[in-house]
Amino acid sequence: MATAVLDNHQQHVTHNHMLMKKPLSVDYLQNNGLIDPKQLIGEALHKRAESVDHELCEPGDEDTFYVADLGEVYRQHLRWKKNLPRVKPFYAVKCNPDPKVLRLLAELGTGFDCASKGEIEQVLAMGTSPERIIYAQPCKTNSYVRFVKNAGVKQMTFDNADELYKIAKLYPEAELFLRIMTDDTSSLCRLSMKFGAAMDTTESLLAVAKNLGLNVVGVSFHVGSGASDPLAFYKAVRDAHTVFQQAADFGFSMRTLDVGGGFCGDTFEQMAGVLRDALDEFFPAGNGIDVIAEPGRYYVATAFTIACNIIARRTVEDPTLDGKGYMVYINDGVYGNFSSIMFDHQHPVARILRSNGRTLYDTPSASACSAGEGVEYSVWGPTCDGIDRISESIRFETILDVGDWLYFEDMGAYTKCSATQFNGFSNSHDVIYVCSEAGAKALLNIYSATQADVACFKALKESPDAKKFPNAARWYKHIATFEDEFASLTGDASKPYTVYGPDVAEVTLNPAKAPAAADDDDDVDLFGSDDEDDDEAARVREERLAEYRKKKEAKPKTIAKSVVTLDVKPWDDETDMVALEASVRSIEKDGLVWGASSLKAVGFGIKKLQINLVVEDDKVSLDELQEQIQDFEDYVQSSDVVAMQKL
């Protein structure tokens, strides 16, 4: 599977994270100065789609492909740390085991929730410590239990007595979490139907564990994937507290509460608020209990966009409407990356990426029309199964044809990891990585060697002293991994190392030890005093300091600014979104500049307004701004700050 990294700016290595032996990508594409996530994603989609001639291309050239913004994963992590600082995330690998996502999260210090031997092996292969893994599968395969014992992964869950007997036989040193049943009736995917001990069984299970000499260290629960009821967390934390008290009565030394997953981006702040309150009530800070969670879709759902090619079109006459519509068939479907339609209750929304030779990404023409407008389409997958339908009805103002491209946003959770090869179609698709956050780029060390690196590398006789020059030593070690490819790296190989760096720099490589300076009495006044020289030097120094202070005072102070993304939610699907946006933009303040906006699907036909703005921190209070937005109560139900970055 080919991959590409968009953004190849050269940078000095100044952090202490492990260098990749070689770039994980086949291709490196230039960023061209783009920093806005939408621009980065749109440029990547455009370049790939534009390069495909569906009439002449080879089989597979027009395949579905993803664009993944690793900066979005980074922003979600910052959002998590802001709202749940006490809760350490253990990313649910099953949601999307993309290797770059896992690497970034590992560098960010998260743990990992694994449910199989394969997932554990993938995480351990990155050099992750076994202590950062929880085997969160209450019903485990015997051989997998033996595997994790040999791998040193101790933390695991259970919810029944049979599993306790298995663990006692195969891995009695394991550190166990009792998974309890929760009220997950409001979740997209209910898990308590399959896992979790009922509250009337927890005491008896703890008694069995005690009799077997096992070590129960915590309680876990899961309110269901895609939970929509924040109060579910409160009830579950309250029940977990009861089990902690029961465990204490049996003499167990409990140390960790695992609050599971179920976090959604749209309701995260509300859920986090309920969870914080519940933790403060039942597990207050300072009581010695660590709190972890198992978020999955929260981190990756919005980070991935998929592009699909229209491979066929069928005209459908509709005499009742005195017109016609079309069935369009794309090269992906419910047996592929859209399997979440079937088992995860998702409703991906098609948008037009490219049609009639024009790229329409993130324009009004890319989105669907209102009912009764434009041309009606149904969107189908490529297999022979009649259930392979992605959209029953959607309307566009554009006439779509074979070779055009559609794109679908928010496709990072439970998509490519569950694709099949039904009908012989591939389940392996290219991922083009972009990165809209400098912090994520630094952690992943997205860097490509050039002839400038080669020239400097060859000029050095040996690796710099790692104790004195740790960053230079790491750079040297990294460039050494490209030695077999020196001739093919970009740049001018004929340039000497001296042309790189500051123009006035004088560099001596591996200098010999300088000889001791000879005695020189010329500057010494044997019969006078050097106080005069000292006084003159002091006077000159004071003059220079005064001049520096004067320049510093005259220099304009830096104005602190932030780029903010706001979500503004309407009351229902009948809310006039044009009027809502106009009301929001009518707010004028000194230090406030409104930016680009778009409508994001929430569900059930409802869309929210997502709008960017730049604020001067000293002049604009976000709390006051949100209160002003809330005053438009005819249109606005709520508003949330979903992202903020200092300029």
Residues tagged active-site: 384
Q: For residues 134 and 124, is the Cβ–Cβ distance under 8 A?
A: no
Distances (CA, A) of 184 to 177, 202, 266: 19, 19, 18
Q: Can you tell me the distance from the alpha carbon of 344 to that of 398, in angstroms, rounded to the nearest whole number? A: 30
Q: Can you tell me the distance from the alpha carbon of 498 to that of 185, in angstroms, rounded to the nearest whole number? A: 68
Distances (CA, A) of 255 to 78, 258, 594: 26, 10, 47
* Token code pair at residue 216: 């129960």
Q: Can you tell me the distance from the alpha carbon of 460 to that of 454, in angstroms, rounded to the nearest whole number? A: 10
For tokens 């005819």, name the residue: 634
Beta strand pairing call for 87-92 and 65-69: unpaired
The residue among 140, 146, 141 whose CA lies nearest residue 177 is 140
Q: Can you tell me the distance from the alpha carbon of 291 to that of 561, in angstroms, rounded to the nearest whole number? A: 34
Identity of residue 398: T
Q: Tally the C-alpha atoms within 13 A of residue 560's C-alpha that lie toward its C-beta.
A: 8
Identity of residue 187: S
Helix (H), strand (E) at residue 239? helix 231-249
Rounded to 5°, the CA angle 215-221-224 comes to: 155
- Burial of residue 168, with CB atoms counted within 10 A of its CB: 0-12 exposed, 13-18 middle, 19 or more buried: middle
- Name the DSSP class of 487: G
Chain-centroid distance of CA 395 in Å reads 32
Q: Can you tell me the distance from the alpha carbon of 198 to that of 196, in angstroms, rounded to the nearest whole number? A: 6
The residue among 486, 415, 444 whose CA lies nearest residue 24 is 444
Phi-psi domain of 448 (left: phi exceeds 0; alpha: psi -120 through 50; beta: other): beta
Question: Helices 451-459 & 470-480, crossing angle to 10 degrees?
Answer: 110
Q: Can you tell me the distance from the alpha carbon of 607 to that of 585, in angstroms, rounded to the nearest whole number? A: 18
The per-type count for the chain, helices as H runs and strands as E runs, is 17, 23
Q: Can you tell me the distance from the alpha carbon of 178 to that of 240, in angstroms, rounded to the nearest whole number? A: 9
